[in-house]
A and B are shown apart, each in its own frame.
Chain A
């Protein structure tokens, strides 16, 4: 994130958002403002409502109360937001290229433009040569990269990522984390990143939002927001890295 992006209008603002099912509230009082290129990681114990929060921020779930705004309206050739899911969820009946084009369908783009726009992010994740392949012929890591390309193709203002690397093996996950660091430099999108991997959160994010249980019969809430004040390159080598990871772990452990 650059300093100038902080002066730009926010691309997402959530005010006092509460979430739940029927009469039960599982997460309450979430405030979040995101500026272009900003990266917020959301961490917390299993079942605390991280993925539910992400879906509410994206508008896939209606909050019980509060308001979420993504001011950037849909334009002729882009969408306000897109999402990378925990499982790649590629459509097996579409080739790789067809999957990446999904979000571009319905925009005012010619077939040739759609094709070009799909190939760009595929090249960015190193899979442009796989455009004509069927999804089942790709490895899990490659499928997830196609999922990322699909999300980037619509040039979103906000990119939601729901534990995108959790189902991958350690080596692939590490490589994709590095690719995401590179990707951040080349995209204007702000990113909301859900993860249960604290090290991953500190490695990638500008801010780490920690969700914790509110106590007996109380909904979960944001218990702490930590700034990650380290350059993006090789964060693991910085002396602040390990203590910050430790601190987040301690916060999560105490709720």
Chain B
């Protein structure tokens, strides 16, 4: 708990914690406490990033990963939300697919890699497919729960005021009432997408994952760290932008 701390104090402690960690890391390597072949010096990272930028490699791999990520997240979110909402609103559809969902849900996205290669080959579609699977389940369950837990009183109000049709109730009650839950699912899906994107590229599809794999095989751990930090920065950027949109859409909440 941060009770009794001002914002400035919290920022100060955060900066101190991060600086302390980097300092400990740097000194451990320089003093020989940690072997330099296994972990890069933090002070070397900016230089390595600069070289990656100068060579244009950073832009190429980030562009590739962003394209896999965007397609995968868009596909997984759209389908997950659509199927989740349908399952919550249509009891017959829910019953018909419930066992299938229970069967498929525990299978991790990476377990689909063999099928992704067979179906799509080693190309961006395969990476997008793997990313979409993880994103799909998060959005599916978030949307299902959000719609399922809507106060039935809202539905009664809609019917009492002439909004009996399915489409009217969907657009005037179900979607707006479930929006907070659906948007939370989308946000979690954005994070899940970045977790999967590297793994999905490890088997040879150009992108951040492939670059990290190449670098690690040459023990270029500094390059690996550059791209680890790149993913963290991209995730933080996407999460921040989504949060801005989310706040705007949910400005009606108290």
CA distance A82 to B90 in the complex (A): 27
Q: What's the Cα separation between A93 and B172 when bound, in Å?
A: 10
Which of the segments A37-45, A100-108, A116-124, A246-254 contacts the partner chain? A100-108
Selected interface stretch from B40-48, B97-105, B152-160, B185-193: B152-160
CA distance A91 to B154 in the complex (A): 7
Answer yes or no: A145 CB below 8 A from chain B CBs. Answer: no
Partner of B157, one of A89, A95, A106: A89
Q: Which of B154, B162, B252 contacts A103 (CB 8 A)?
A: B162
Secondary structure call for the A interface: loop
Q: Which residue on chain B has the smallest CB distance to residue A103?
A: B161
Query: Within 8 Å of chain A (Cβ to Cβ): is B204?
Result: no
Residue of B nearest to A79 (CB): B162
**CB–CB A134/B252 < 8 A:** yes
Question: Roughly how many angstroms separate A83 CA and B159 CA in the complex, as a whole number?
Answer: 10
Q: Give chain A residues whose Cβ lies under 8 Å from the Cβ of B6.
A: none
The answer to the question of B253 belonging to the interface, with a C-beta cut-off of 8 Å to chain A, is yes
Asked if A58 lies at the interface with its beta carbon under 8 angstroms from chain B, I say: yes
A154 within 8 A of B: yes
The bracket for how many chain A residues form the interface is 20 to 34
Total interface residues in chain B, CB < 8 Å: 20
Contacts of A79 in B (CB 8 A): 161-162
Whether the Cβ atoms of A93 and B176 lie closer than 8 Å is: yes
CB of A165 within 8 A of chain B? no
Asked if A171 is at the interface of the complex by the 8 Å CB criterion, the answer is: no
Q: Give bound CA distance, A216 to B161, whole Å.
A: 38
A9 at the interface (CB under 8 A from B): no
Q: Is A85 an interface residue (CB 8 A)?
A: yes
Say if the beta carbon of B254 comes within 8 Å of chain A: yes
Residue A87 interfacial (CB < 8 Å): yes
Interface check A50, CB cutoff 8 A: no
Q: Are B176 and A91 in contact (CB under 8 A)?
A: yes
Cβ-defined contact, B172 with A60, below 8 A: no
Whole-angstrom CA separation of A82 from B74 in the bound complex: 41
Query: Could you give 11 example pairs across A and B, Cβ below 8 Å?
Result: A60-B156, A74-B162, A82-B161, A91-B157, A92-B252, A92-B253, A94-B176, A94-B252, A105-B168, A106-B163, A136-B253
Which residues does A use to contact B, with CB under 8 Å?
Answer: 58, 60, 74, 79, 82-83, 85, 87, 89, 91-95, 102-103, 105-107, 134-137, 150, 154
3 pairs of A and B residues whose beta carbons are closest in the complex: A103-B161, A136-B254, A93-B176
| B interface with A by C-beta (< 8 Å) | 153-154, 156-163, 168, 172-173, 176-177, 179, 251-254
With A85-B153, A94-B252, A95-B252 known, 16 other A-B pairs at CB within 8 A are: A58-B160, A60-B159, A79-B161, A79-B162, A85-B157, A91-B173, A91-B176, A93-B252, A102-B157, A103-B162, A105-B163, A105-B168, A134-B252, A136-B252, A137-B254, A154-B161
